[in-house]
């Protein structure tokens, strides 16, 4: 029987799908699987169901002599060396489409939280500072008629854009390739990165982490933002240069930031961003709802079982692997 190793406890529905097709072992405990454990488990595994916290590099992949599929329970797959997997004929899959609303909801919740100073207002009461209604207490910023700049109008970015439209915002977007169909269907305008940064009141990031996007919000880009603008990041931490962001916030060159993702996770409690009042932070919970995480796990299980049957999995990220699998001599 084929063997599948799952690196964290996932929804039971998903485990049931896997168990129908393979012998399944699940890592127990509250912390990610350690490298030693992965190195050991991969030796006999045909399938590996991974989380974004598992670094699946070429060395680990090379140990997987029987490995057929690495199935990430995330839409992002920057934790996997896809090229190394492809060269060994290993399918790599992700979970797109099932987490768009949940992640867009969180991006918008963060946008509202920073604009309306919700965490600050909550602490204000708990600290016993509320003396009564005041005309100028905790004034925030409107959303109506403000410009929302979306960087990356993919599935999640599009959902954030739609939410922005419902809140009567002007929505602009930037990505290397224009999308005229979405411009019409959602009602968004294309802008160059430079224009988007200089006109947006809220900038929300929705790009995958790649060698092109790493550090794309650097000092130069942040400095192009309005003094009154907010930055929202629910994509991946390394897309933003945190040092440049900290400086801009400290020097009040932008108004605030709301961040769900960080260069290093968990964030170091000494990270100076934690000292800034106009920063709202959450611990990488973009897709963290019961329904969404269940759908993600089920899709990951379906991807895994398809691959184990040597059928093309629904969310294959490395279609080049098909060529390697057809011609094993290329591996």
What is the contact surface with ligand DGY in residues (CB under 6 A)? 52, 74-76, 99, 286-287
**154 vs 256 by CB, closer to ligand DGY:** 154
Minimum distance of ligand DGY from residue 78's CB (angstroms): 9
Contact partners, residue 136, CB within 8 Å, separation at least 6: none
Minimum distance of ligand DGY from residue 161's CB (angstroms): 19
Catalytic position from the list 284, 293, 295, 302:
284
Q: Which residues pair with 190 in a beta bridge?
A: 173
Catalytic position from the list 236, 242, 293, 302:
236
Contact partners, residue 329, CB within 8 Å, separation at least 6: none
Q: Does the active-site annotation cover 206?
A: no
Helices 155-166, 100-115: inter-axial angle, 10-degree rounding: 50
Catalytic position from the list 265, 291, 311, 323:
265
Q: Are 48 and 24 in contact (CB under 8 A)?
A: no
**Residue 325's CB: how many other CB atoms inside 10 A?**
17
Minimum distance of ligand DGY from residue 238's CB (angstroms): 13
**121 vs 288 by CB, closer to ligand DGY:** 288
**61 vs 74 by CB, closer to ligand DGY:** 74
**76 vs 154 by CB, closer to ligand DGY:** 76
Minimum distance of ligand DGY from residue 227's CB (angstroms): 30
Q: Does the active-site annotation cover 265?
A: yes
Q: Give the C-alpha distances (Å, rounded to integers) separating 104 from 272, 274, 299, 328.
A: 27, 24, 19, 41
Q: Does the active-site annotation cover 242?
A: no
How many residues in the chain?
A: 331
Location of structure tokens 């169901």: 49
Which residues carry out catalysis?
Answer: 236, 265, 284
């Amino acid at each position: 029987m084929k063997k599948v190793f799952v690196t964290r406890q996932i929804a039971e529905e998903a485990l049931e799908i896997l168990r129908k097709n393979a012998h399944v072992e699940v890592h127990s405990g509250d912390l990610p699987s350690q490298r030693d454990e992965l190195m050991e488990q991969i030796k006999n595994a045909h399938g590996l169901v991974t989380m974004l916290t598992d670094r699946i590099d070429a060395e680990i992949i090379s140990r997987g002599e029987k490995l057929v599929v690495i199935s990430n329970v995330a839409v992002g797959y920057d934790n996997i060396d896809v090229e190394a997997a492809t060269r060994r004929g290993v399918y790599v899959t992700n979970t797109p489409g099932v987490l768009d609303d949940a992640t867009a909801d969180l991006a918008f919740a963060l946008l509202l939280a920073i604009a309306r100073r919700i965490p600050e207002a909550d602490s204000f009461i708990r600290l016993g500072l509320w003396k009564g209604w005041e005309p100028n207490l905790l004034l925030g910023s409107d959303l109506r008629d403000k410009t929302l700049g979306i960087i990356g109008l993919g599935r999640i970015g599009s959902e954030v854009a739609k939410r922005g439209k419902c809140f009567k915002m002007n929505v602009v977007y930037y990505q290397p390739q224009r999308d005229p169909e979405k411009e019409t269907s959602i009602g968004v305008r294309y802008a160059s990165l430079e224009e988007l940064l200089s006109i947006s009141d809220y900038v929300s990031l929705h790009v995958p982490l790649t060698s092109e996007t790493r550090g794309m919000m650097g000092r130069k880009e942040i400095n192009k933002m309005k003094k009154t603008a907010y930055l929202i990041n629910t994509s991946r931490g390394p897309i933003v240069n945190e040092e440049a962001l900290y400086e801009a916030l400290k020097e009040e060159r932008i108004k605030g930031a709301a961040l769900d993702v960080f260069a290093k996770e968990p964030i170091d409690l000494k990270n100076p961003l934690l000292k800034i009042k106009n920063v709202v932070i959450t611990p990488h919970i973009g897709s963290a709802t019961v329904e969404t995480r269940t759908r993600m796990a089920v899709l990951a299980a379906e991807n895994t079982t398809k691959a184990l049957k040597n059928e093309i999995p629904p969310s294959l990220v490395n279609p080049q692997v098909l060529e390697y699998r057809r011609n094993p001599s290329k591996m």
